[in-house]
Chains A and B, each alone.
Chain A
């Protein structure tokens, strides 16, 4: 009798102990990573791969034991590319979800709408949008992973210069990305001195025909090359119209179209065009000495295996954003916001998909124009030029 009782007592104690251990493991609060992305709407081709990347790697990091022994929890909202929604969601992430860090903001508009709230709430924020204004001038709590459009403009214009093309016909989308790219291109051309923007046309983000604008550029005297700055389906239509009009000038696009789906949309008409892009598009052509090669190949194969769709540079921005966040939290040893921010600001030599990040108090982007590779479309696929 006594024996049996003690058996049950032991069993009871053992179960209690197991439950307590399990509970205490759960009691370590998860690290809350907030995100607002344009998963639907006109910028969904940005937000969709970004969200997929975040979900996938949060899961993966959790399976591998989390960060600082704590699990990651992704709290996500879809701003549909709408700046005022983005602002509301950022506010919700800060006030009611009480997240530790925010990785998100697919578009420049959405990012900039959230910035004042983030600065006020003093929470580290890693944006996934491109425009220079996000980190220039430096804002204390705001970081970003994509190269700025200014660097893209620098990279494109210097490639043009090396081919002796100095008179540019510029066409750009009127969305945040296109209009910022347009401003930067004009500014960089002015600084370089020997390059001149001779034609300057724009198109709306949902336009279905840009023949009129391209006809105008073609009709401009001396124009030697044409550059399109924009994203979405617009640049693909520009590319097609360009081919239909039979314009016989070297054609450049921005990094806004750096994805395989652009090649599908533009088809044969993309032949010969050049653009600055993340090495992600040509992982296998990178030399083995390139430190990014392994990172890029791993991300590409993991993403494509998991989602059965092609990787895009935009997902790469989210990958870098999450990795930088995790690295900063690990370095800080806690989720204390000031410490994480400090750690982010001092990240050096972090090899990501987009480039090698060297953050500093004056540079919250940490990339240089050299992280862009110049690619050319040959036989319907990307080839590495420089």
Chain B
């Protein structure tokens, strides 16, 4: 197990270099000049452009820029953006909010999705099953920004139950509605995935054996059935955590959450390659580590699965 985790961690190194390289070059390839628009509607004076080019190494070939950026990154220095702000600080300011939001979304989709899935999976074709099938179909069909704007307008503006936007240092309660919006699509998938898995496994031999042994129904379903059926769901949730972090752009925009999504979006618009690269690298790391976490969880759920 230890060797396995170590190996997986070592695999991060080439991925790290590969992603930074690709992202850095892709941002550079975007049309437009990062210094344009810094002086309002007017052109910037040559002296200003000259100073900025020197300061940010824009006069160097792109490869040299990348290498010096990578050098800084290895020492934990994310560099400075074109506004003279430390990218590490920017990330430290925005990351916790997005993590919180993604975790809230994850918990919401796990709790609601798993419950709905287990309940419907045990009685496929029943009344509840049909209700959940329709509801999830609806969730899958409606885009995130529609859910977001509708909830914001109805709950926030017309009913006044929640503030329409999230304060700059949000508590868990503030994030429930945005978290639901963010997780709504995956919630539907989790419910359906669980339902299928439960429905299939409830006819499995080990369930029959457990029932034959005289175990209570609660124990059969709670421990034996659900635990085994949860494996594909856990895979999905783990991979989804990474997606939620990156996919928060729309939700964060609607609720004015100053998280990582907004930071990426604005930095792409401003051609701020240093910020984009830094954030994306972190997202990739989180994605990979979340996947590692999933693989390790397998061993807990099903002792037959060997990792090394």
A binds B: no
Give chain B's interface residues, CB within 8 Å of chain A: none
